[in-house]
Amino acid sequence: MAKGDIYLGLAGSETLLSPIGREFQEGEVEGSRTDRTASGRLVRDIMWSKKNFTLDYSDAIDGDVLTILKNIYALQTELSLIVHYTDTIVTTYTVLMKPFKRTRKLLTGNQLWSGTSIELEEV
């Protein structure tokens, strides 16, 4: 386990995801209610806030990595995402994985795929 490592899978049996060609994005999604008061002032009530993550393999991944990602998605359940931000800061999230598209670039050998973007949303 090292800085930059990302694991995904069922809690207790997460799989190390390939760092080759991977970009990692982290953001927030929130549920809020916005309205105007009697004086016309705009106010917002934030009801909840959760993290969302994107693992972007847009350049290329091989068929083995794609098979791992497809098998994880096929579990159709809550997953454990472990992110090693530094050697000492490791955070675990419970997430759901969304379906993803991919484009085959090369058919021979182990195949190459591009345009693969994995979206995960915190439970």
pLDDT tens string 49-66: 999 999 999 788 988 999
Each residue of 12-41: pLDDT tens digit?
999 999 998 899 999 999 999 999 999 999
The pLDDT of 105-123, averaged and rounded, is 88
State residue 45's pLDDT score: 95
Residue 107 or residue 103, greater confidence = 103
Q: Position of tokens 């994995």?
A: 118
Q: Which fold has domain 6-122?
A: Elongation Factor Tu (Ef-tu); domain 3 (2.40.30)
3-state SS of the chain is: CCCCCEEEECCCCCEECCCCCCEEEEEEEEEEEEEECCCCCEEEEEEEEEEEEEEEECCCEEHHHHHHHHHHHHCCCCEEEEEECCCCCEEEEEEEECCCCCEEEECCCCCEEECEEEEEEEC
Tokens standing for residue 39: 């004086």
Full-model pTM: 0.86
Tokens standing for residue 101: 């598209």
